[in-house]
């Protein structure tokens, strides 16, 4: 009896030491969690999550102060990716933080613009070109669709325009599963 | 294997035939469309020429409504030089610039130039390159670019871009791809049988344009008559720098990468191009179009289209102009049979279905296939994957389709990149053998698009982040500078006040001294 | 007048393979072996097969209903029938009816549907069932019949039926007179008493290679297996490596110690090795996907079978070996991923 206990204990100790050494020796270098969370966020810098930018929101999630369902531009895909990363249950987007919309770009109506530069100061990624008393215009390729330029404009000349689905944007659709799907079939 | 070794091996292309992994032996079904000779199409009542006929963004219309155009006149300009200009298929009047069906796989509409022929079919002033043998290669390449030539094997990649990039890297062997491996399609075979001289001419011109010193024309082993016709044309044309190589008929032999592997034993590096191996691969029809453009000055306005299938009464090959509605081609072939069920642009493995025969012929239309309801796949229930491994056995790109399917269904995009999803050539071999009837080609097309748009999104997000951080840094810097300026001013003011005070004291002292003396 | 068409995805050819087609061909390949079995050991095995199939389909229907899946589609793929037949072929011919019931409960409900259904199970359902039944009811599972040519008394069909359904023999018979050890059992028992293999082989239960009757059944299984190879239903990697490793390791053992190790061919034709090599270890769902992986898988099953036969507690190790390699299959797949074109 006693020798058996001794042997098992010694074996257990040896294996434990071995595992500890292996965990150090074969450790995989990974990014800190904040960077990983930030990589999932869409970098729109819009503030709809109630944080001044994507990095502060990522830090808040990492600290446990914020929930994962506050990012509207990231949408459901983003929430699911965050849930996967942090090993929690995905939730639906919090309606208080906006709704998931197709990506739209800001367009300034040049007939109305008065050149006040308030939108330029508001844009978090410097996507608006212009100067005081000169025409302002939004650079399409830089605009993230955050909508922060809309409130400051005194003449309300900025519109959010969804890019229409032309042949240029078209992508092959997801195949329709014809067989009964586990989640979707209800007699 | 070093790059030098690879190039050396590539130079010996065609001497020994190799195999590629996987592939399928399919029934050809090509003879039925080769019985009748090639026939040019009569003019239709209206031409609908789409402005999107190449890979890349839509061309911009160069004409206005009501304008008269001559045959071969440029009506569409590509967005970048050398990328996809469009030319008028006949002389007539531009009736409209309308959005309508453009034979796109999505079924979406696009901008078309609608031309009503005037019946005269008059060419514009043709500007051939008379002495192309002595013309500089760059001039030949410019002509290819101006003539709107795109890859006519189905990929419609702008030929001038391919040729330009290839000549920069240095090409030693030109490969003309005449191994049309998809069942039913016989347009290249017809071309090789009836117009072999133009192919040889095109080969010579392309050789000069990229600086290659030999050409290999690859044909399939069941194209007996083709071999003879081509041999005759080669011997007639003189010089011995063109070889004809027969390859075994396994689908997808005609794929560029697979053909190169068979001819050289080398694999085109993942993410690389054949030009990395000093090879340039072009379809035989593209070569003919190049010959026509350089020697006759005629831009690309027509191509051979195979109209075939059990849904067509009299299958044959037709020389059709771009913009002809498909229904005109069908009528020329005796119309539909009773049980015509699906209209496909392309072959049965990789082609896509069209919803109406009012769609026009485009540069990519190598075949119009009408299958009967007996031929097509009835909508099959998709069973779960039983991991039988047949898909991996037949994949020419050495991928693991069952793994990729699993990853795409679960949106594990990073894993799909690791397992080589972007290397999939969408040949359909895996789909064809799957006992669970999983629509693998549809999954992989979806997956590849998603992967590409994910990469674009990530790049944009990264750039937005950098701009945001730069802006934050700039704002912080301006704030700091302002604070420093204020501090400077305050200090200067303090110093000024101090100086004044000292001055006032000194004045006071001197005045009081003066008063005392006085 | 333009004509409209319904569209569909590429490729546009009809598929030629179906899962039910594959399964039915596997069953067809088993028929010669089953016929030989009945010839040598009587009709009991047919009753077992029938019972197993009925119970399997019953449990499958139940689980499909619970999981709200299409009955016709999944019952029509014949996979439950194949599981049932393979399981039944491992049972003693006179096993009571509730053995098949419990076996199919574990195979269909536990090993297949609770893991996710067709294509998702980690362990081979037939082997799970067999192992469960073997470990839980060892006495019942040890009551094997000798070949009818050797039997002193053999049972008629009616007596077979009553035995199976009542759980005990007819009054005038007893297990001592009826049952006899299988050849593998005989070897194991002899070795335990210190006899050499060659002496044990003197017993009439042995034929030229393996057990009398058993070797012929193995031949017929092999015939069916070769037919499956020709039809491309299975690939050669697993059977080749499994039999090859058994022959190889068996040869080493035989040369090293002929007293306690039989001739390699005896191993090949004993027990469920041929059945396992062509029908059980080639199960695509639970095996490896890559060709190199399959070679390793086959070798692993062969080696483990021999080890268990020689040193383990049970006479035949195929079922345990298959389950152990099922566990290792995902890992093997991960490390034997083939190189991609151009990389």
Structure confidence by residue, pLDDT tens digits, A63-115 = 888 888 888 888 888 888 888 888 888 888 888 888 888 888 899 998 999 98
B32 occurs within a structural domain? yes
B365 occurs within a structural domain? no
* Partner-chain contact B471 A124, CB within 8 Å: yes
* Partner-chain contact C73 A175, CB within 8 Å: no
Q: Which residues contact C293 (CB under 8 A, 6 or more apart)?
A: C329, C332, C333, C336
Q: Quick check: A180 pLDDT over 50? A: no
For residues C160-175, average pLDDT: 76
Q: Quick check: C69 pLDDT over 60? A: yes
Does C342 touch chain A if contact means CB atoms closer than 8 Å?
Answer: no
* Partner-chain contact B463 A142, CB within 8 Å: yes
Beta carbon pairs, A and B, within 8 Å? 75
pLDDT averaged over chain B? 88
CA distances from C40 to B55, C100, C211, C217 (A): 69, 22, 11, 8
Residue with tokens 């919803």: B355
Q: Which residues contact C74 (CB under 8 A, 6 or more apart)?
A: C60, C64, C117, C118
Tell me which of A157-171, B212-226, C121-135, C196-210 is least confident: C196-210
Instruction: Give the per-residue pLDDT at C31.
Output: 95
For residues B120-138, average pLDDT: 89
Q: Distance, in angstroms, between B465 CA and closest chain A CA?
A: 6
Same structural domain, B406 and B264: no
Sketch out chain A's domains with CATH numbers.
Answer: 33-97 (1.10.15.40), 102-167 (3.30.70.20)
Tell me the chain B residues in contact with residue A80 when contact means C-beta distances shorter than 8 Å: 411
- Of B305, B321, B337, which residue sits at a domain end? B321
More confident residue, C342 or C98: C98
Q: Quick check: C152 pLDDT over 80? A: no
Tell me which of B281-295, B482-496, C2-16, C133-147 is least confident: C2-16
Tell me the chain A residues in contact with residue B457 when contact means C-beta distances shorter than 8 Å: 42
For residues A26-41, average pLDDT: 81
Does C67 touch chain A if contact means CB atoms closer than 8 Å?
Answer: yes
Structure confidence by residue, pLDDT tens digits, B307-340 = 999 999 999 999 999 999 999 999 999 999 988 9
Q: Quick check: C59 pLDDT over 90? A: yes
Number of domains within chain B: 2
Residue with tokens 């383990």: C312
* Partner-chain contact A182 C68, CB within 8 Å: yes
Tell me which of A34-43, B80-89, B121-130, C245-254 is least confident: B80-89
Q: How many residues does chain B have?
A: 518
- CB contacts under 8 A, A 46-75 vs B, are 53-54
How far apart are the C-alpha atoms of B88 and B76, rounded to whole Å? 9
Range of the domain at B399: 380-518
Question: What are the backbone dihedrals phi and psi of residue B304, each rounded to the nearest 5 degrees, phi first?
Answer: -85, 130
B355 occurs within a structural domain? no
Other CB atoms within 10 Å distance of the CB of residue C51: 24
Q: What angle do CA C33, C35, C39 make, to 5 degrees?
A: 115
A42, A125, A173 member nearest B446 (Cβ) = A173
Instruction: Give the per-residue pLDDT at C311.
Output: 85
B271, B381, B389 member nearest C73 (Cβ) = B381
Torsion of CA C54, C60, C66, C67, to 10 degrees: -170
Q: Which residues contact B105 (CB under 8 A, 6 or more apart)?
A: A172, B352
Helix (H) / strand (E) element for B352: namely strand B352-354
Nearest C-alpha neighbor of B459 from the set C217, A141, C123:
A141
Torsion of CA B358, B359, B361, B366, to 10 degrees: -110
Does C72 touch chain A if contact means CB atoms closer than 8 Å?
Answer: no
Structure confidence by residue, pLDDT tens digits, B482-511 = 999 999 999 988 888 888 899 999 999 999
pLDDT averaged over chain C? 87
Structure confidence by residue, pLDDT tens digits, B340-395 = 999 999 999 888 999 998 999 999 999 999 998 888 866 677 888 988 888 998 99
* Partner-chain contact B268 C342, CB within 8 Å: yes
Does A121 touch chain B if contact means CB atoms closer than 8 Å?
Answer: no
Does B456 touch chain A if contact means CB atoms closer than 8 Å?
Answer: no
Tell me the chain C residues in contact with residue A180 when contact means C-beta distances shorter than 8 Å: 68-70, 73
Instruction: Give the per-residue pLDDT at A177.
Output: 66
- Give the highest mean pLDDT range of B7-16, B230-239, B256-265, C121-130: C121-130
Q: Distance, in angstroms, between A181 CA and closest chain C CA?
A: 7
* Partner-chain contact B432 C11, CB within 8 Å: yes
Q: Looking at chain C, which subunits does it touch, using at least 3 CB pairs closer than 8 Å as the criterion?
A: A, B
Q: Quick check: A183 pLDDT over 50? A: no
CA distances from C76 to B377, C23, C103, C202, C286 (A): 19, 10, 21, 48, 21
CA distances from C18 to A182, B437, C331 (A): 21, 7, 28
- Of B285, B306, B321, which residue sits at a domain end? B321
How far apart are the C-alpha atoms of C17 and C11, rounded to whole Å? 14
Tell me which chain B residue has its CA closest to the CA of residue A164: B108
Q: Distance, in angstroms, between B449 CA and closest chain A CA?
A: 6
B360 occurs within a structural domain? no
Tell me which of A93-102, B97-106, C21-30, C245-254 is least confident: A93-102
CA distances from B112 to B428, B447, C91 (A): 31, 30, 72
Helix (H) / strand (E) element for B116: namely strand B109-117
Determine what percent of chain B is predicted with pLDDT higher than 70: 98
Question: Which pair of tokens denotes residue B507?
Answer: 């004045």
Determine what percent of chain A is predicted with pLDDT higher than 70: 90
Tell me the chain C residues in contact with residue A179 when contact means C-beta distances shorter than 8 Å: 70, 73
B184 occurs within a structural domain? yes
Contact B446, B465 (CB under 8 A): no
Contact A114, A13 (CB under 8 A): no
Beta strand B47-50 with B109-117 is: antiparallel
- Of B275, B304, B321, which residue sits at a domain end? B321
Residue from B103, B386, B443 whose CB has the most chain C CBs within 10 Å, to mutate: B386
Taking 3-state DSSP, the helix, strand and coil percentages for chain A, each rounded to the nearest 5, stand at: 35, 5, 60
Contact C317, C306 (CB under 8 A): yes
Residue with tokens 């389709």: B401
What are the counts of helices (DSSP H) followed by strands (DSSP E) for chain C?
17, 0
B499 occurs within a structural domain? yes
Residue from C4, C9, C12, C234 whose CB has the most chain B CBs within 10 Å, to mutate: C12
- Give the highest mean pLDDT range of A153-162, C184-193, C294-303: C294-303
B312 occurs within a structural domain? yes
Q: Quick check: C168 pLDDT over 50? A: yes
Three-state SS sequence of A123-179: CCCCCEECCCCCCCEECCCCCCCCCCCCCCCCCCCEEEEECCCCCCCCCCCCCCCCC
Q: ipTM of this model?
A: 0.83
pTM value > 0.95: no
Q: Quick check: B301 pLDDT over 50? A: yes
Does C5 touch chain B if contact means CB atoms closer than 8 Å?
Answer: yes
CA distances from C179 to C143, C153, C173, C190 (A): 6, 10, 10, 18
Q: How many CA atoms lie within 13 A of C256 on its CB side?
A: 7
């Amino acid at each position: 009896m006693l020798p058996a206990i001794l042997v098992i204990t010694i074996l257990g100790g040896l294996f434990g030491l071995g595992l500890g050494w292996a965990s150090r020796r074969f450790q995989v270098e990974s990014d800190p969690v904040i960077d990983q969370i930030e990589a999932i966020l869409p970098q729109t810098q819009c503030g709809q999550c109630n944080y001044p930018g994507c990095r502060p929101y990522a830090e808040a999630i990492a600290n446990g102060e914020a929930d994962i369902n506050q990012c509207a531009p990231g949408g459901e895909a983003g929430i699911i990716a965050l849930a996967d990363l942090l090993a929690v249950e995905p939730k639906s987007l919090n309606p208080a933080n906006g709704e998931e919309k197709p990506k739209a770009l800001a367009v300034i109506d040049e007939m109305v613009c008065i050149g006040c530069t308030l939108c330029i100061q508001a844009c978090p990624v410097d996507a608006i070109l212009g100067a005081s008393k000169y025409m302002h215009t939004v650079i399409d390729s830089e605009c993230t669709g955050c909508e922060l330029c809309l409130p400051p404009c005194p003449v309300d000349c900025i519109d959010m325009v969804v890019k229409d689905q032309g042949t240029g944007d078209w992508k092959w659709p997801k195949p329709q599963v014809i067989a009964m799907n586990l989640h979707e079939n209800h007699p | 294997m070093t790059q030098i070794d690879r190039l050396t091996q590539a130079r010996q292309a065609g001497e020994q035939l190799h195999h590629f992994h996987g592939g399928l032996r399919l029934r050809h079904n090509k003879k039925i469309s080769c019985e009748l000779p090639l026939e040019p199409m009569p003019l239709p009542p209206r031409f609908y020429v789409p402005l999107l006929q190449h890979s890349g963004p839509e061309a911009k219309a160069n004409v206005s409504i009501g304008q008269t155009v001559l045959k071969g006149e440029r009506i569409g300009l590509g967005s970048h030089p050398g990328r996809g200009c469009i030319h008028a298929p006949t002389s007539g009047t531009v009736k409209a610039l309308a959005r309508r069906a453009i034979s796109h796989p999505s079924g979406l509409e696009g901008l078309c130039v609608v031309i009503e022929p005037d019946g005269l079919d008059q060419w514009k002033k043709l500007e051939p390159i008379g002495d192309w043998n002595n013309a500089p290669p760059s001039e030949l390449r410019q002509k290819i670019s101006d003539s709107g030539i795109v890859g006519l094997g189905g990929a419609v990649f702008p030929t001038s871009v391919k040729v330009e990039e290839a000549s920069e890297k240095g090409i030693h062997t030109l490969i003309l791809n005449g191994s049309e491996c998809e069942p039913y399609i016989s347009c290249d075979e017809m071309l090789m049988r009836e117009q072999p001289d133009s192919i040889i001419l095109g080969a010579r011109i392309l050789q000069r344009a990229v600086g290659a010193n030999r050409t290999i024309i690859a044909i399939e082993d069941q194209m007996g008559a083709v071999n003879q016709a081509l041999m005759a044309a080669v011997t007639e044309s003189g010089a011995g720098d063109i070889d004809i190589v027969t390859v075994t008929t396994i689908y997808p032999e005609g794929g560029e990468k697979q053909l190169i592997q068979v001819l050289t034993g080398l694999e085109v590096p993942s993410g690389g191009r054949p030009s990395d191996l000093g090879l340039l691969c072009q379809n035989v029809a593209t070569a003919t179009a190049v010959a026509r453009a350089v020697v006759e000055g005629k831009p690309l306005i027509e191509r051979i289209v195979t109209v075939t299938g059990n849904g067509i009464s009299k299958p044959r090959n037709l020389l059709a102009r771009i913009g002809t509605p498909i229904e005109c081609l069908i009528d020329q072939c005796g119309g539909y049979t009773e049980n015509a069920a699906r209209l496909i642009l392309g072959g049965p493995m990789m082609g896509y279905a069209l919803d109406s025969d009012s769609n026009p012929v485009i540069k990519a239309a190598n075949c119009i296939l009408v299958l009967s309801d007996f031929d097509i796949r009835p909508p099959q229930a998709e069973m779960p994957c039983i991991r039988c491994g047949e898909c991996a056995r037949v994949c020419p790109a050495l991928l693991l389709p069952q793994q990729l399917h699993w990853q795409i269904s679960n949106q594990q995009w990073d894993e799909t990149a690791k397992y080589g999803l972007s290397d999939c050539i969408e040949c359909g071999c895996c789909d064809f053998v799957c006992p669970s009837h999983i629509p693998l080609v549809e999954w992989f097309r979806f997956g590849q698009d998603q992967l590409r748009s994910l990469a674009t999104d990530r790049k944009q997000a990264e750039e937005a982040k950098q701009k945001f951080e730069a802006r934050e840094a700039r704002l912080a810097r301006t704030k700091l500078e302002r604070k420093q300026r204020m501090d400077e001013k305050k200090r200067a003011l303090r110093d000024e006040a101090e100086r004044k005070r000292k001055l006032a004291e000194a004045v006071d002292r001197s005045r009081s001294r003066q008063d005392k003396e006085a | 007048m333009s004509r409209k068409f319904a569209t569909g995805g590429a490729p546009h050819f009809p598929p030629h393979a179906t899962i039910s087609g594959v399964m039915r061909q596997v069953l067809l390949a088993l028929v010669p072996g089953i016929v030989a079995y009945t010839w040598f050991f009587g009709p009991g095995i047919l009753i077992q097969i029938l019972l197993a199939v009925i119970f399997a389909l019953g449990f499958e229907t139940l689980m499909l209903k619970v999981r709200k899946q299409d009955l016709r589609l999944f019952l029509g793929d014949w996979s439950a029938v194949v599981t049932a037949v393979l399981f039944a072929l491992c049972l003693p011919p006179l096993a009571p009816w509730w053995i098949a019931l419990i076996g199919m409960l574990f195979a269909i409900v536990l090993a297949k549907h609770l893991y996710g259904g067709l294509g998702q199970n980690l362990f081979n359902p037939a082997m799970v069932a067999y192992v469960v039944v073997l470990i839980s009811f060892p006495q019942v599972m040890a009551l094997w019949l000798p070949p009818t040519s050797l039997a002193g008394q053999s049972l008629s069909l009616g007596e077979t039926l009553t035995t199976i359904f009542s759980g005990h023999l007819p009054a005038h018979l007893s297990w001592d007179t009826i049952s006899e050890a299988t050849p593998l059992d005989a070897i194991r028992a002899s070795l335990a008493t210190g006899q050499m293999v060659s002496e044990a082989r003197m017993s009439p239960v042995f034929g030229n290679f393996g057990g009398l009757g058993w070797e012929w059944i193995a031949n017929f299984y092999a015939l069916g297996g070769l037919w499956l190879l020709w039809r491309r239903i299975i690939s050669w990697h697993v059977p080749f490596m499994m039999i090859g490793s058994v022959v190889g390791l068996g040869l080493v053992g035989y040369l090293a110690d002929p007293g306690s190790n039989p001739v390699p061919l005896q191993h090949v034709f004993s027990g469920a090795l041929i059945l396992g090599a062509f029908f059980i270890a080639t199960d695509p769902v639970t095996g490896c996907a890559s060709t190199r992986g399959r070679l390793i898988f086959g070798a692993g099953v062969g080696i483990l079978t021999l080890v268990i036969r020689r040193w383990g507690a049970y006479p035949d190790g195929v079922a345990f070996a298959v389950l152990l390699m099922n566990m290792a299959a995902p890992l093997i797949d991960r490390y034997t991923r083939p190189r991609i074109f151009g990389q």
